[in-house]
Amino acid sequence: MLVAFHNRKDANHGRARGLVKRILGGALGTAYASDYVFDEAVTVSLARTGRSEIALSVGRMILGEATAPFLILLRVGDAVFAEGWRLFSRYAEKGLSFTDCASLALMEESRVDRIAAFDSGFDGLASRLS
């Protein structure tokens, strides 16, 4: 979602803008991201666009450097890492990355009930925001 928000050429750009607007407006409660999501979003932004300024913009948004605090950054610890690996071992065939599985484990640990993602691999595993 964060990559699509910053990349106007992304097919989900409009949907991502709507989600960010709702998050910033407080309609969806507190938003979280993990350090792994930070890594993935910055890296994918650079890889897909070839533009470092977009990757930097994504990073600044997540870190709250470019806008009002947008979300709370959570760190993946040992227990979440282990659970993420267990989930990855179980769901890799669905196409979920290790970052996705660590996100699911972190959601469980932090009692977060919805994920802002356009990846259908989460279907049946987590409620996705639309």
With the C-alpha atoms ordered 10, 34, 129, 84, is the resulting torsion angle positive or negative?
A: positive
What pLDDT was estimated at residue 39?
Answer: 97
What is the reported pTM? 0.85
3-class DSSP assignment, residue 127: strand
Asked if residue 101 lies in contact with residue 109, where contact means CB atoms within 8 angstroms, the answer is no
What pLDDT was estimated at residue 119?
Answer: 84
- Tell which phi-psi region holds residue 29, choosing left (phi > 0), alpha (psi between -120 and 50) or beta: left
Tokens read off for 96: 């979920």
Q: Where are the domains of the chain?
A: 2-73, 78-128
> Which regions of the chain are under pLDDT 50?
none
